[in-house]
Structures are given as C-alpha cells and as structure tokens.
Amino acid sequence: MATEIPPSPKVGMVSLGCPKALVDSERILTQLRADGYAMSPDYAGADVVLVNTCGFLDSAKEESLAAIGEAIAENGRVIVTGCMGNEAELIRARFPDVLAVTGAHQYEAVVSAVHEAAPAARGPFVDLVPQGDVKLTPRHYSYLKISEGCNHACAFCIIPQLRGPLASRRIDAVLREAEKLVSAGTRELLVISQDTSAYGVDIRHEARAWHGREVRAHMTDLARELGGLTTPDGQRPWVRLHYVYPYPHVEQVIPLMAEGLLTPYLDIPFQHAAPNVLKAMKRPANEAKVLERVKAWRAICPDLAIRSSFVVGFPGESEDDFRYLLDWLEEAQLDRVGAFRFEPVAGAPANNLPGAVPEAVKEERYARLMEVTERISAARLAAKIGRTLPVIIDEVGEPDEDGDVGATGRTMADAPEIDGAAYLRQVPAGLAPGAIVDMLVEDADAHDLFGVIAR
C-alpha cells in the first residue's frame, strides 16, 4: 500500500540589512528545509513568514517595522528575528500579533519558533532528505561569514550590543564551507564579518588541521588558503575581502592580490579622516599612516581598488574637520565611496556628545563629499578606457529589435549591489551569469564602465 507524503509547510522570508544578516537568513532557511519545510516566494503561499530585521540605525528600524507591518497585513502569521530582536517589547507593542521575536543569529530559537507555529510532518521519507544549503544570492557568488560580533567600541555604533563581542569561526569550518561553495558553482566569494582583520583574535589564532597541514585562524592564513581554491573547471574563484580594518598585517595580503590569488579589492570602513572626529568616534585609525599604507599597497598592486564609507555631520565636526576629510579624499583617491549623514541611534554613546551638527549642514556636507568622490571615481574609471579587464557576468538581457544581446557584469573593482557595473553590448547569446569574460573598455561615466567582449 502506497504511503502518501504529507505536504510540507511553507515558509516565507523577508531579509533586511547587511550581507551578514543575509547569511543568517540562508542558515535559517537551510535548517528549515532540512527539517521538512518548503520555501514560499510570496506572502499568500506561506504558512508562516520570517522577517529578519536590521537595527543598526533608527531609519533601518523603521524599515524593519514597516516590513513587519506589511507581513502582518499580507499574511498574519509572522516571526521576527535579527538585530531588532533585542527590542521585543517595542515590536510587540506595535504588533501584538507577532508569533515570536528572537535576536540576531539565534538560529535554534527562530527554527524552534517556526516548528511551533507550523509543525512539519516527520517520517522516513522526510528524514532521509539530505540537507542542502539555501542561497539567497545568485548561484555564482556567495557570502562567506567568518565571525560574529565586534570588539570595538565606536561611539556611533551599537553592533556589539546587537551581536555581541567578536566570535570567530573555526578556520577549518570556514574553509570547508568555502570549498563546498566553490564546488557547487560559486565563482566569487565575498568574505564578510564585522572586523575581518581581527579574525581569530578571540580564539588566539588557534590552528586546525586542514588537508594535512596546520592552518591558523588568522586573516592572512585564511586569505592564503582561499586564494588556493579552484573551481571544478580549474579556475580560481574571485575572493573579495570586506570590512577590513587597516591594521599593519593587512599589508601581507596585498602581495597575494598582486599574484592573482585574491581579488585586488579592499573594503575598509575609514568613517572619517580628521583626527578630532576620529578621536570622538573612538575609531582605531591613524589617517596619516593610512595614506602612507595606501600608497605602499598600490605600489605592490597597482590595480588595487579600495572602497570605503564615511560619516558626515558627526557631533563636533567643524567645517575645518570636514575640509580636512575632503583634502584627505583627494590624496587617497579611493575608487568607491559611500557616505552617511550622522544619525543618532538609541544606545550609542555619540548621542550624548556636544556639538550637534544641524541637519541642513549635514545635507550640504554630504552633497559636497559626494561631488568630490564622484569626480575622483569618474577620473579613475576614465583611466580604464582602452584596457581589457576581466568581468563576471551577473545578468544577460533579451535580444533587442536588431538581435543584439547585452549583459551586465562587474570588474574586480566592483562588489555586487554596492559598487558600479560593467555593461557589455553584442555578447554571445549563450553567455550565462557566472561566466568570466575579458571586456574591452570603450567608455565610462562616474560609476560604470561600458564595452564589448575582447576579441
């Protein structure tokens, strides 16, 4: 007599915030799928909806609350997790019908809440289903989270309150995950954490056996091992380092970039350059030495691309401080820059600092900074016209009225979703996302490159 397998409960997911939160969402969904759940792409088909929230800024909290409200209105059965989980009282006061509230990276708690809200049928047919990772990014790139939390006490940040102190993963676990991702089709690994340079400090850089040798939990060892990975077809995946504080040992990874083992790209959260502001921010940086290091890094690896983010309008920031920042940016010639107007966050020490900058002044400084950085970006991209650069394809379009097919990709200087793009015309119809092609750069604007596949 045939045994009928009961239908699987379906889970919907709304994932907000940074790539680290996206990795949390992937882990939660991976466990739920292994537990017999199916995924729903919309509210209507979900038995329960998870909202993974962001709580870094008040504006992010409002976005999270709006997402919770939408999920309640569209579905009604909602579980909240993520960085706003530590404000359960606020969430329940606004939305008393939420089924459960859990905190950041509390995987077991949120999975248990789903089990309670929408129990999955258990049995031999379900229990024998192998666990497969759920990805919320395209198949060809993946985020590799190497640690949780942060040991810094930056005045404007509440990440240590939300995610705790630095907690590094075992080096063999990180490398095993990276190897698995690359074997499954990942062509680009994006290494993320709150402080990639500090990886392993909390576990005293303990060494683990990996493929017959001892490897330390240290940024430089990790970078070297990731640079040795190969795809099934024998190619090296791109390995991109994010959230890198400019500690002295960072210079040890620059030769790996020059050798082609790592993508020549560093995402460094400088936040400011004026000494007075950095001191008030409690930032672990020295702006003068950083400029010297940037010059030394580019001498070793001329194609090194540096992205960073800056805060304007921090309490006490004077016009002289802001001009210092602009002058510093002119000298640093960073490739990609993002900027944020200072925003008070509940629980952040910066809220109590004197010298609040008026909103109108913040807006004016933000506009001036973006004007400078756009001009720098335009000049650096214009210098690439006529060069042939490798590009990873993210999307291939449909043929136009003349039958031409265009594609969108990124050079090694561009991380997905936050940097610029490379637009190719007249690509072969069989080109697929994840392919890496050589692009002849024909034109550029302030953010993007345009060209054709080199013949």
| One-letter identity of residue 420 | G
Mean pLDDT of 293-310: 95
Q: State the chain's mean pLDDT as an integer.
A: 90
The answer on pLDDT for 333 being more than 50 is yes
Q: Tell me, what's the pLDDT at 419?
A: 95
Banded model confidence at residue 455, pLDDT cuts 50, 70, 90:
confident
Mean pLDDT of 285-310: 89
Q: Tell me, what's the pLDDT at 363?
A: 97
The answer on pLDDT for 36 being more than 90 is no
155 or 438, higher pLDDT: 438
Which of 420, 427, 423 lies closest to 400, judged by CA? 427
Q: Tell me, what's the pLDDT at 7?
A: 78
Mean pLDDT of 62-71: 92
Condensed to tens digits (0 to 9), the pLDDT of residues 112-146 reads 999 998 988 655 444 444 455 676 778 899 999 99
Q: Are 227 and 264 in contact (CB under 8 A)?
A: no
Q: In what order do the strands lie in the sheet with 78-82?
A: 38-39, 10-15, 48-53, 78-82, 100-101
Condensed to tens digits (0 to 9), the pLDDT of residues 369-406 reads 999 999 999 999 999 999 999 999 999 988 887 778 89
Q: What percent of the chain has pLDDT over 70?
A: 95
The answer on pLDDT for 286 being more than 70 is no
Q: Among 13-17, 29-33, 312-316, which range has the highest average pLDDT? A: 312-316
Of 25-34, 128-137, 383-392, 426-435, the poorest mean pLDDT is in 128-137
The answer on pLDDT for 299 being more than 70 is yes
Q: Tell me, what's the pLDDT at 35?
A: 85
Sorted by where each starts, the structural domains of the chain and their CATH numbers stand as 10-127 (3.40.50.12160), 141-382 (3.80.30.20), 388-453 (2.40.50.140)
Of 4-18, 72-86, 160-174, 391-405, the poorest mean pLDDT is in 4-18
Q: Is the pTM of this model over 0.95?
A: no
Mean pLDDT of 168-196: 95
Q: Tell me, what's the pLDDT at 54?
A: 87
The answer on pLDDT for 288 being more than 70 is no
Banded model confidence at residue 1, pLDDT cuts 50, 70, 90:
very low
**CA 253, CA 260: separation in Å to the nearest integer?**
11
